[in-house]
Structure 1
Amino acid sequence: MAEPRTRGRWLTLVIFAVVVYVIVRAADTPQAATSPSTGTTGPATSAAPTSPSATASPSAYDPAAYAVQVRTRAQQADVSAQLVMAVLYNEAYKPHDPALERAWQKYKPDAAFGIANMHRATFDEVKKGRDFADRSWDELPDDRDLAIEAEAWYLHDLSAQLPPTWRSSLSRDQLLALGYNTGAGNMLAFAAGTTPGTQAQSYLDRLHTNWAKAGKAVGG
């Protein structure tokens, strides 16, 4: 779940995170083996296979590639697959590379993890009593299906908190998206008629922009 913020601020933060990422990766990269007899560089040790999510470049991420997982997890949580996908598109404003996310988290401990941008406290609350109750928040960057599953159930929990009727002209999906971005308390305030602020409205505008392609991605 993303904190309310402007894209400009995140661009600055991402640039800093890239610098941290490069430094961390450089420090963690083992030196090539050197042959004692010749002094030349020897063959590198074979690396263990890594998951596609860990090796993909930040710019390669496309939420539509996870349409199968979105449909499955949305059905399990009884929420709209189009909404789950649209939220993923909304949350794709920053790079989603596992190593980069962890490098950034060292600088900003309360940063969100995973392609659905979920904070630790939210994940720990959502997983209670669920099939993924034994999973850890710090697995989210490496397991995109887990991130989608947690997102879908959080939207389910937010939906359960909405009253049968509300004063706002916003739809259920719009309110749930706002709840995902700003928290349940703000969602209920919006449902009661409070006008979304600039940042919340920006999130709604992006949701509107992403809605059609989200529907296309999940076959809606």
Structure 2
Amino acid sequence: MAEARSWRRWLAVPVFAVALYVIVHAADTRQSDIPPPAGSSASPTGPVSPSASASPTGSVSPSTSATALSYDPADYASQVRTRARQTGVSAQLLMAILYNESYKPHDPALERAWQRYKPDSSFGIANMHRATFDDTKKGRDFAGRRWEELPDDRGLAIEAEAWYLHDLAAQLPARWPASCNRNELLALGYNAGAGNMLAFARGATPGSQAQSYLDRLHANWARAGKAVGT
């Protein structure tokens, strides 16, 4: 989404990001090193294998707590196909956008540390802002969920992404003079918002940031199709 516009800032502050990651996880490690009291059983809130844990949305997340080093959007192909069928959007588009949005680390602890530094940042593997999530969830099965849950629930992030694209598609005119096709316009809308999407549909020329997002979509298109089996 629009957060992709600040990807250079992520690259410009790797030392800061790594330091936050180390601090947060060092604290987690120190806490986990504390042995339980004698005679007590293992904590029921201890780590659970991600491959065995179901998300609150009813789907199994293969690597919910995975770090950016191990995150691969293709691991979520099944969930992408399911949400694509449910919302009537292209599974290949859903997956290509996940690849576009994988430019920054998606470790939950690091995302939250970054959000404290940059309060208007986005959350989750689909990089969704709070206002977009809150608007998209209205009247949907996940209406009771919170934006703050996105870093921990990748299934929820994909569900919200799919419905947001569905809502953007509903705003497109039946025909438009621009050379962009439907999927390109929806990707531009995901990145730059509905108003800009409609401007592009009317023939406005994408700026450098929007064009960069579109270029990355084209670069990711083939592997996205391979991931979802199209």
Within the candidate set 128, 132, 147, 1:122 is matched to: 132
Give the TM-score of the pair, scaled to structure 1.
0.89
Kindly state the Cα deviation for residue 24 of structure 1 after the two structures are TM-superposed: 3.1
| Larger Cα-atom Rg | 1
1:161-194 deviations in whole A, cap 9, x for unaligned?
Answer: 1111111100000000000001001101100100
Aligned counterpart, 2:11: 11
Unaligned runs of 5+ in 2: 36-41, 51-62
Kindly state the Cα deviation for residue 14 of structure 1 after the two structures are TM-superposed: 4.4
Within the candidate set 47, 56, 61, 1:49 is matched to: 47
1:138-161 deviations in whole A, cap 9, x for unaligned?
Answer: 111111110000000000000001
Give the TM-score of the pair, scaled to structure 2.
0.85
| Distance (Å, rounded) in 2 between the aligned partners of 1:54 and 1:164 | 38
Residue type matched to 2:18 in 1? V
Residue type matched to 2:47 in 1? P
Deviation above 4 Å: which 4+ runs of structure 1? 31-34
Quick check: 174-183 or 101-110, which moved more?
A: 101-110
For the residue of structure 2 that corresponds to 1:188, the secondary structure is helix
Distance 1:135 1:7, change over 3 A: closer
RMSD over aligned CA atoms reads: 1.9
Q: Is the 8 A contact 1:14 1:94 kept in 2?
A: no
Distance 1:60 1:27, change over 3 A: closer
Unaligned runs of 5+ in 1: 35-44
Q: Is the 8 A contact 1:4 1:182 kept in 2?
A: no
Distance 1:16 1:211, change over 3 A: same
Quick check: 74-83 or 53-62, which moved more?
A: 53-62
For the residue of structure 2 that corresponds to 1:102, the secondary structure is helix
Within the candidate set 149, 167, 171, 1:139 is matched to: 149
| Distance (Å, rounded) in 2 between the aligned partners of 1:33 and 1:27 | 11
Kindly state the Cα deviation for residue 20 of structure 1 after the two structures are TM-superposed: 2.0
| Distance (Å, rounded) in 2 between the aligned partners of 1:127 and 1:153 | 8
- Give the number of equivalent residue pairs: 210
Quick check: 17-26 or 93-102, which moved more?
A: 17-26
Kindly state the Cα deviation for residue 6 of structure 1 after the two structures are TM-superposed: 5.5
